[in-house]
């Protein structure tokens, strides 16, 4: 589906898509790093204690509480993203997340309102954590559904790299404000300003995201009625998805999360809180290292496009597990007095491993999960890993350090063992996904019916039997290349012409075949069928049949989508209904066949009461059973139709009822029960054309 990917990129520049998606990640991590940078100040104003370590632990614990609520947000917003769309959901998460960060800047402190200040801080972290739960999964999914298969790792890696730019902006905000107002003022009130700056990022983010459009991949699924109505339930009812979410995808997420948080967050907290490097110096060292490492994320993503996702993630985890202890030992050596270039270099080496573990993650998640549950599955996996293991990384390391008074024991307990385990899990238990074709899911070839292929010598009798289960029979001499088709229309015409049942279908076939390439979008196929009023499309790959699309399937799948269409709510059925051909129950099969050949459908009525309908399918079934042409139609009529007694009913309501009852026809009657007309699924769809 490279063509579809190209068409989506022509609608919006890919750089704009990435910028609009990534701005939320920037804000998310901006908040994260501002909080991390200001840990000593937050501890003083919200968790005052004579025990410095206890105060820091309380600050980290509050931080971790927000992370516990990330999975909650993942369930809430993941479901929204798969049900109502990616764009609107992550506009909502951006708004909530930014509000939570900005309000941090106006909180009263413990010295003013006592424990209320602590409670408000905890509530804001919960609010912020919940809203973040839908952000990263949405941004990642959105970009992946705009990206061609061959560049997915490279372009997807830009989203996690945005987190590093969030770090850089936070350091600029913290250091710049500190330099502007001075140390004394910054420690008293200036620390609030970096949180308030988030409002500026919110405005930029909203401007970008409001201009984005829904992804073509999701829009295609939605318009053909194949999105999930209950994505969370679908995940938890299917053992395959449970395994992928809570094992195959989660373990690599846990490893990359521990790598990321140790390299980005704990290294900064360690320099400031334990090695007593000043905030400006520690921030500068980590900022320089992070900036250089951020440039390597796309390289790691590109590498995953070449050698695969699992090997790239394996390298990042195993190397990190090997080097983390020596690097923290080196931090001690070069922090007193602080050597900024070396501290920056050490930070760079650690964050470089995060590029390898996180760089391929967007592509990895997208390739594991189908479009209909991708937002939910990605968000749940990511935020369980991040929420539990990421948010608790600094807390666990600090707690172990407080007990052991040995940083190497603290590091061994978490940032060594978990990445090491993750590396070997990836190597032996995670499938390679880089060759997955995302666009294939919404291609014609992936949505066709199995073809029913016959030869030109096949008899009419055999063709009629085939039409009992298929809407079109494909005629081919070699079983691959189509030369014609037989549908209800050709068979009905032969029936009305009194042709014998042993006549060869080659004599009645329609040589004017409607075809489409199998790699085209199913949305293009649907629009083509509606525009040209086609009953079928034969899907071809290299001129050979791979299947067919039936107008009946596409029209029925659209009904549930159209039930919520605002335009259809304004249109009453009486404006689009067609005249209804009424016949009495004693009408013969021959007479009814002639009417159906002209009108497509008729209704059987006793007086003014409709008792059944008759269409091409019912006639074909009668022919298959050998029903006498002169017999009454009463025994072959269908009762599968909708009947409404109000011609002012909206098309949207009719679409909803037809979808619920899985019928293709609706008889429209007056309030007194008099038949007035009939509506087909195609008539409902034409209401928006």
Q: How confident is the model at residue 52 (pLDDT cuts 50, 70, 90)?
A: low
Q: How confident is the model at residue 6 (pLDDT cuts 50, 70, 90)?
A: very low
pTM of this structure: 0.78
Q: For 558-588, write each residue's pLDDT tens digit.
A: 776 676 677 788 889 988 898 989 999 999 9
Does residue 179 carry a pLDDT above 70? Answer: yes
What does the alpha-carbon distance between residue 539 and residue 110 come to, in Å, rounded to a whole number? 69
| Residue ranges of domains in the chain, CATH in brackets | 12-428+437-442 (1.20.1250.20), 444-550 (3.10.580.10), 563-686 (3.10.580.10)
Q: How confident is the model at residue 232 (pLDDT cuts 50, 70, 90)?
A: very high
What does the alpha-carbon distance between residue 371 and residue 390 come to, in Å, rounded to a whole number? 27
Place of tokens 């804000």: 27
684 with 651: CB under 8 angstroms? yes
Q: For 314-359, write each residue's pLDDT tens digit.
A: 999 999 999 999 999 999 999 989 999 999 999 999 999 999 999 9
191 with 55: CB under 8 angstroms? no
474 with 485: CB under 8 angstroms? yes
| pLDDT score at 393 | 66
What does the alpha-carbon distance between residue 273 and residue 193 come to, in Å, rounded to a whole number? 22
Taking residues 515-521, what's their average pLDDT?
89
Q: For 582-631, write each residue's pLDDT tens digit.
A: 999 999 998 999 998 888 889 999 888 899 999 888 888 888 888 888 89
Q: Which of 19-28, 231-240, 337-346, 410-419 has the lowest mean pLDDT?
A: 410-419
| pLDDT score at 4 | 46
| pLDDT score at 3 | 45
502 with 459: CB under 8 angstroms? yes
**Mean pLDDT over each residue of the chain, to the nearest integer:** 87
**CA distance to 400, 537, 550, 557, 593, per residue, from 514 (Å):** 70, 5, 11, 21, 25
Q: For 448-472, write each residue's pLDDT tens digit.
A: 899 999 999 999 999 998 988 888 9
Angle between helices 52-68 and 70-83 (to 10 degrees): 20
Cα–chain center distance at 548:
27
Q: For 256-313, write each residue's pLDDT tens digit.
A: 988 988 887 778 878 887 788 987 898 889 889 988 998 899 999 999 999 999 999 9
| pLDDT score at 496 | 84
Does residue 9 carry a pLDDT above 70? Answer: no
What does the alpha-carbon distance between residue 201 and residue 181 come to, in Å, rounded to a whole number? 22
| pLDDT score at 443 | 87
The 8 Å CB, 24+ separation contacts for 196-199 are 196/102, 196/105, 196/106, 197/173, 198/27, 198/30, 198/31, 198/98, 198/101, 198/102, 198/105, 199/98, 199/102
- What does the block give as tokens for 221? 């699924």
What does the alpha-carbon distance between residue 288 and residue 178 come to, in Å, rounded to a whole number? 18
What does the alpha-carbon distance between residue 353 and residue 347 come to, in Å, rounded to a whole number? 10
% of the chain surpassing 70 pLDDT: 94
| pLDDT score at 687 | 64
Please compute, for residue 570, the number of CA atoms within 13 A of its CA located in the half-sphere on the CB side. Answer: 4
């Amino acid at each position: 589906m490279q063509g579809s990917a190209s068409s989506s990129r022509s609608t919006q520049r890919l750089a704009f898509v990435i910028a609009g998606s990534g701005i939320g990640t920037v804000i998310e991590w901006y908040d994260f790093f501002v909080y991390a940078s200001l840990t000593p100040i937050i501890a003083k104003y919200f968790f005052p204690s004579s025990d410095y370590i206890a105060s820091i632990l309380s600050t980290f614990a509050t931080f971790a509480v927000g992370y516990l609520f990330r999975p909650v947000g993942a369930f809430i917003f993941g479901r929204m993203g798969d049900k109502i769309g990616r764009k609107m959901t992550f506009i909502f998460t951006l708004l909530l997340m930014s509000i939570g960060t900005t309000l941090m800047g106006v909180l009263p402190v413990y010295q003013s309102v006592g424990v209320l200040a602590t409670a408000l801080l905890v509530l804001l972290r919960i609010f912020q954590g919940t809203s973040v739960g839908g952000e990263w999964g949405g941004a990642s999914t959105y970009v992946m559904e705009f990206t061609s298969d061959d560049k997915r790792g490279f372009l997807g890696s830009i989203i996690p790299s945005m987190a590093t730019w969030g770090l850089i902006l936070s350091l600029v905000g913290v250091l710049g404000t500190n330099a502007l107002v001075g140390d004394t003022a910054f420690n008293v009130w200036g620390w609030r300003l970096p949180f308030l700056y988030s409002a500026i990022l919110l405005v930029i983010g909203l401007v970008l995201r409001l201009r984005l459009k829904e992804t073509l991949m999701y829009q295609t699924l939605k318009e053909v009625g194949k999105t999930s109505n209950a994505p969370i339930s679908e995940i938890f009812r299917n053992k395959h998805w449970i395994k992928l979410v809570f094992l195959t995808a989660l373990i690599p997420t846990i490893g990359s999360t521990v790598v990321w948080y140790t390299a980005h967050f704990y290294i900064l907290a360690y320099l400031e809180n334990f090695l007593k490097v000043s905030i400006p110096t520690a921030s500068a060292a980590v900022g320089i290292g992070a900036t250089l490492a951020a440039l390597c994320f796309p390289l790691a993503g590109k590498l995953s496009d070449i050698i695969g996702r699992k090997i790239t993630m394996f390298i990042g985890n195993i190397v990190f597990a090997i080097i983390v202890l020596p690097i923290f030992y080196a931090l001690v050596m070069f922090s007193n007095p602080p050597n900024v270039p070396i501290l920056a270099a050490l930070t760079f080496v650690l964050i470089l491993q995060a590029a390898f573990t996180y760089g391929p993650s967007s592509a990895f998640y997208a390739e594991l999960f189908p479009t209909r549950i991708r937002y939910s599955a990605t968000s749940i996996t990511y935020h369980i890993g991040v929420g539990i293991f990421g948010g608790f990384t600094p807390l666990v390391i600090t707690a172990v350090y407080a007990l052991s008074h040995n940083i190497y024991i603290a590091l061994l307990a978490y940032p060594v063992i978990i990445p090491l385990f993750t590396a070997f899990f990836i190597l032996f238990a995670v499938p390679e996904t880089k060759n997955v074709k995302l666009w294939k899911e919404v291609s014609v070839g992936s949505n066709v019916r199995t073809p029913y292929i016959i030869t030109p010598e096949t008899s009419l009798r055999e063709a009629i039997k085939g039409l009992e289960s298929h809407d079109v029979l494909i005629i081919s001499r070699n079983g691959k290349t189509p030369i014609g088709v037989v549908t209800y229309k050709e068979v009905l015409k032969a029936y009305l012409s009194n042709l014998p049942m042993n006549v060869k279908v080659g004599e009645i076939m329609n040589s004017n075949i409607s075809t489409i390439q199998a790699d085209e979008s199913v949305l293009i196929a649907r629009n083509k069928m509606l525009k040209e009023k086609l009953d079928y499309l034969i899907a071809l790959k290299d001129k050979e049949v791979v299947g067919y699309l039936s107008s009946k399937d596409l029209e029925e799948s659209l009904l549930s989508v159209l039930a919520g269409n605002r335009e259809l709510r304004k249109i009453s059925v009486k404006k689009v209904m067609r005249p209804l051909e009424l016949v009495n129950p004693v009408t013969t099969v021959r007479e009814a066949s002639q009417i159906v050949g002209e009108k497509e459908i008729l209704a059987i009525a006793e007086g003014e009461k409709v008792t059944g309908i008759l269409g091409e399918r019912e006639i074909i079934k009668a022919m298959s059973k050998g029903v006498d042409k002169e017999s009454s139609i009463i025994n072959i009529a269908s009762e599968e139709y909708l009947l409404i007694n109000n011609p002012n009913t909206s098309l949207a309501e009719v679409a909803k009822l037809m979808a619920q009852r899985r019928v293709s026809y609706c008889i429209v009657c007056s309030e007194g029960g008099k038949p007035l007309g009939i509506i087909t699924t195609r008539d409902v769809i034409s209401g928006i054309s």
